[in-house]
Amino acid sequence: MGEKSAQKRKYILDKARAVFSEKGFKSVTMKDIVDACEISRGGLYLYFSNTEELFLAVRLRDDMDDSEDETMSAIPGDASAGDMLALFIKEQKKEILRKKNNLTVATYEYYSLHRADGGENPLKDEFDTAVRIVERLISNGVESGEFYCENPRGCARNLMYVVEGLKITSMTIGITEEAIDRELMYVLEGLVPDELNN
């Protein structure tokens, strides 16, 4: 009803994602979207009133079919903590390297515009959730003897800040896959019991 055609809505979001990936958030105009979708100006406004609405919908839609969750839930129940952490990190790496449909810059632009220091912030939720996941994996690994770590939360946070650093570096300075591997490895090595580390 209010949503017109759900299919077209998805179509628009798909095209919009590509545009946001290409131009970030601020530079994107409704005309950019219209052109990308090859629909009429009025047609777009039937679905979204401005780029902000569009962007948030793109990010939401993203969550739905996000490969991360799928991947994580597709893990066999008997996977080791190390395997799972490796998988998690592999996903992060994929995201960092992603060329197409990469929302990193647009997201940073959007939230630097709408920073809500005190209040709710989806970005903060995402970050905190990721930290918790990693912390749990590390803790599990410590219990099973796979990892050695006196401060799992600290280590998890360190990992996620490095990931953030790598993301922004990738979008501004540029970074090679090797450099990403090296950085993530550096963090993980701190988890390996000393006797194994040598």
Partner DNA sequence: AATGAATGAGCCTTCATTCAT
Partner DNA sequence: TATGAATGAAGGCTCATTCAT
Q: Distance between alpha carbon 121 and the CA centroid of its chain, in Å?
A: 15
The residue behind tokens 């896959």 is 177
**Chosen from a second copy, DNA, none, partner binding at 55 (C-beta under 5 to 8 Å by type):** none
Among 14, 22, 23, 43, binds DNA (CB under 7 A): 43
Please count the other Cβ atoms lying within 10 Å of the Cβ belonging to residue 51: 22
Interactions with DNA, residue window 13-32 (CB under 7 A) = 29-31
- Sequential DSSP letters for 34-76: HHHHT--HHHHHTT-SSHHHHHHHHHHHHHHT-HHHHHHHTS-
Which one of a second copy, DNA, none interacts with residue 152, CB within 5 to 8 A by kind?
none
Number of residues that bind DNA (CB under 7 A): 20
Report the C-alpha gap between 31 and 17 in whole angstroms.
14
Q: Say which entry of a second copy, DNA, none residue 121 contacts (CB below 5 to 8 A, set by partner kind).
A: a second copy
Q: How far apart are CB 27 and a second copy at their closest, in Å?
A: 5
Which residues within the stretch 80-139 sit at the binding site for a second copy (CB under 8 A)? Answer: 105, 107-109, 111-113, 115-118, 121, 123-124, 127
Interface with DNA (CB under 7 A), residue from 14, 18, 23, 46: 46
170-179: long-range pairs with CB below 8 Å, 24+: 170/96, 170/97, 170/104, 171/102, 171/104, 171/105, 175/96, 177/93, 177/97
178 vs 77: CA distance, rounded Å? 31
CB < 8 Å & 24+ apart, contacts of 141-146: 141/80, 141/81, 141/82, 141/85, 141/191, 144/80, 144/81, 145/193, 146/80, 146/81, 146/82
Stretch that binds DNA, among 36-44, 106-114, 135-143, 145-153 (CB under 7 A): 36-44
Residue 148 CB, nearest approach to DNA (Å)? 53
- The answer to whether 67 contacts DNA (rule: CB under 7 A) is no
Contacts to DNA by CB under 7 A: 1-5, 8, 29-31, 39-43, 45-47, 49-51
Question: Under the rule (CB under 8 A), what is the footprint of a second copy?
Answer: 24, 26-27, 105, 107-109, 111-113, 115-118, 121, 123-124, 127, 151, 154-155, 157-158, 160-169, 171-174, 182-183, 186-187, 190
